[in-house]
Amino acid sequence: MLTFLATNANQLILATEELGEINDGGLLASLAWLIPVVPMVAAFAIVFFGRRLPHKGWELAMGAMGFVGLYGILLAFATMNGEITYEGAISMGEFGPIVLEWGWMVDGLSSMMYFVVGVVGSLVFIYAKSYMAGDIRFTWFFASFSLFAGGMLVLVAAPNLIQLIVGWELVGVASYLLIGHYWEDHDNSSAAIKAFLVNKVADVGLFLGVIIIGTTAGTFRFSEILAQVAAGENDLLKKFAFLGGLALFIAAMGKSAQFPLHVWLPDAMAGPTPVSALMHAATMVTAGVYLLGRTFPLYFVEGYAVDVRPIIMIVGALTLFLTGLIALVQTDLKKVLAYSTLSQLGYMVAAMGAGAYTAALFHLFTHAFFKGLLFLAAGSVIHSVHSNEMTDMGGLRKYMPTTYKTFVIGSLALAGIFPLAGFWSKDEILVAFGKASGGAANFALYLGIAGAFITALYMSRAVYLTFFGEFKGHGTPHESPKMITVPLVVLAGFSLVAGLINMPGFSSWFTELTAVRFTVMGDYHPKAINFGMAAAGLSAALLGILIGYVLWSKDAETQAARDKFRIPLLYPLLERKYYIDDLYMDGIVRPLRGPVARAVDWFNGHVIDLFVNGAGALAKFVGKYVYRFDQSGLDSAIIASAAATGAGGSVLRLLQSGRVQQYAVMIFAGTVVLVAGFIIF
């Protein structure tokens, strides 16, 4: 029998003091299981019925995402009136002390993600209808797209580590389908395989981490694991927390594309632009940051995985700096934004390592809007000029004013220019680096400020090469239709104001939404603006814009002539992406294709095939004699039995004469025999 469970709200509170009104969310929270279920059902409905519908299945996908967006908005507003903490589950079975459950969680962290996935996803789905019009696999695209969003929501809703694995893998499968949507092109199918395999390598960390944490805690439920962490009484969990926490971080490195497992994300631009927008803004790449946020106390409470935090900070800081530099040499507009995403994910991951839970999630929140905007605006440009290359662009502000203005707003927000959304979230991360102690925190702070300069520099390059000067492409560019530009305008609005919900000294709504449970554990939200740190970050960004203006604002006969960032030694290194891809190809892939593949083929042909062929020959030999026995033995016995039955029937048939007198005589004779038998015996 299925058992429905709903935990007491107080059991989920890890803080030791009263920090706000707590409620279970009532009917709104208890029905939140619909959030992941509706998009998953829509995905399968589109597969079976999509082609028969007027809009070829888009209406089902849009309806599902619109439902999630509306539900996410309602949960966000409900949380404003008091922290919602609810956990519902359906028991699926028990294996000893381990209970397998399928459930849903509604708290500040999950509510924020429902809002981001639902709102940004709805805008991307609206955009995608126009962008994908005429695509030969239009219906299949929206089925996969709904599966992609649904998988992320299964992950976000997961109240336990097992369900998180299910959502994690659903996102991976859907991303493979979407990145390789144009599979006829070998490069696209290779990009999909690359993304899938790199993530599978990192997923080993997820499986090991889940096994270590779940078995030592005796439960896979987040609420129960974190309650044990808060209590500090499980010595076995403490003993293995470092290994478990490190393994989970390796999984986060794969999904959130941290150096050196970042190589799959730029190649994932092979997928349609709406996929890139949703993947970078609200779904797949944020999953690793979400995992660190969900398990945050494990890394923060003394005695557990605290020693993993310097590793997290260093990896995040290296990612934000090194991948940002690569963006400076990319000519594909979408790849500039892809390396930008890598850099911003580095900020989020490093912030988690610094203990800045709220700052990391706040940047995830604001980044969703301006990065979604930038990708959709890039898609609008590509839709107009039919090329991803900035060498085929230039001067587009005259032809595409709405796309140009919204792209500039997104770029300024990404660069962290006051008072746009990115300024507030990035500044809070820099403040957190400054507040944290240790060499790793100082390392992250310096690279974080340098990263602000680099971000402004490469986005200035993208803006000038794309929208300024004279058009260098073919044909006549044109502004995109309203179904594409309206989502741009809405996201531009969010990019302008989203940061205001967590202004130090003025608003702490975002902090209260996501971080109430962990405040006592050390999460930090500044009470007032740190003008020194704000000035450092803003000055670095303004300097990047100024240098970008000097380098790229002037037009030239070709775009290549305009692109003047060609520093000796550095430029070739960045162009080859630090030779990381070459290292993987020459050190892993080709050896596997060469000697290792030949050895495996020999073993398969001479060892495994020997057993398989031997088993087949034995089965053939036995089968031959079984067949003979069947034909000569069993069949003969069956035929003889049938013949005897037929002969007996022929004799008995004589008794069925139809003469009543004969039947009466036989009945009388039978009666006499029975009476005689009774008398004698």
pLDDT score for 667: 81
Is 558's pLDDT higher than 90? no
Is 586's pLDDT higher than 60? yes
In this structure, what are the phi and psi dihedrals at residue 473, rounded to the nearest 5 degrees?
-90, -160
Determine, yes or no, domain membership for 213: yes
Q: In angstroms, rounded to a whole number, what is the distance separating the alpha carbons of residues 638 and 642?
A: 6
228-286 pLDDT per residue, tens: 988 888 899 999 999 999 999 999 999 999 999 999 999 999 889 999 999 988 889 99
Confidence of residue 97 (pLDDT cuts 50, 70, 90): low
Helix (H), strand (E) at residue 569: none
> Which of 340, 609, 367, 619 is CA-nearest to residue 463?
340
Strand order in the sheet with 98-106: 4-6, 86-95, 98-106
- Three-class SS state of 468: coil
Is 173's pLDDT higher than 60? yes
Determine, yes or no, domain membership for 498: no
pLDDT score for 663: 74
29-58 pLDDT per residue, tens: 889 999 999 999 999 999 999 899 999 999
Residues 541-564, mean pLDDT to the nearest whole number: 90
Q: In angstroms, rounded to a whole number, what is the distance separating the alpha carbons of residues 346 and 162?
A: 26
pLDDT score for 510: 76
pLDDT score for 3: 34
Question: Which range (370-384, 424-438, 594-608) has the least confidence?
Answer: 594-608
Tokens found for residue 414: 């990404």
pLDDT score for 659: 73
Neighbouring C-alpha atoms within 13 Å toward the C-beta of 422:
26
607-662 pLDDT per residue, tens: 888 888 888 888 888 888 787 777 777 777 888 888 888 888 777 777 677 777 77
301-313 pLDDT per residue, tens: 888 999 999 999 9
Beta pairing, strands 83-84 & 22-23: parallel
Is 20's pLDDT higher than 50? no
The identity of residue 655, as a single letter, is: L
pLDDT score for 4: 33
In this structure, what are the phi and psi dihedrals at residue 282, rounded to the nearest 5 degrees?
-140, -10
Residues 255, 216 contacting (CB under 8 angstroms): no
Question: Which range (72-81, 343-352, 399-408) has the least confidence?
Answer: 72-81
Determine, yes or no, domain membership for 337: no
pLDDT score for 345: 96
161-189 CB burial, b ≥16 within 10 A, e <16: bbbbbebbbbbbebbbbbbbbbeeeeebb
Determine, yes or no, domain membership for 163: yes
Is 1's pLDDT higher than 50? no
367-382 pLDDT per residue, tens: 999 999 999 999 999 9
pLDDT score for 230: 85
Determine, yes or no, domain membership for 226: yes
- Three-class SS state of 295: coil
> Which of 360, 468, 374, 358 is CA-nearest to residue 412?
374
Cβ contacts of residue 392 below 8 Å, gap of 6+?
385, 472, 473, 474, 559
pLDDT score for 22: 53
Pick the residue with more confidence: 76 or 413? 413
124-145 pLDDT per residue, tens: 999 999 999 988 899 999 999 9
203-225 pLDDT per residue, tens: 999 999 999 999 999 889 998 89
Neighbouring C-alpha atoms within 13 Å toward the C-beta of 308:
25
CA quadruple 74, 76, 82, 86: dihedral positive or negative? positive
Determine, yes or no, domain membership for 561: no
Q: Work out the mean pLDDT of the chain and round it to a whole number.
A: 87
pLDDT score for 140: 94
454-485 pLDDT per residue, tens: 999 999 999 999 999 999 888 889 999 999 99
Output the CA–CA distances (angstroms, integers) from residue 17 to 303, 517, 518, 640, in the order listed: 21, 10, 11, 90
Determine, yes or no, domain membership for 276: yes
Q: At what angle do helices 333-353 and 309-327 cross, to 10 degrees?
A: 160
In this structure, what are the phi and psi dihedrals at residue 651, rounded to the nearest 5 degrees?
-70, -45
Looking at the 3D structure of the chain, how many domains does it have? Answer: 2
pLDDT score for 9: 34
pLDDT score for 607: 81
pLDDT score for 366: 95
* Percentage of the chain modeled with pLDDT above 90: 56
In this structure, what are the phi and psi dihedrals at residue 413, rounded to the nearest 5 degrees?
-65, -40
Is 514's pLDDT higher than 80? no
Determine, yes or no, domain membership for 434: no
Range of the domain at 116: 1-232+257-286
Is 77's pLDDT higher than 60? yes
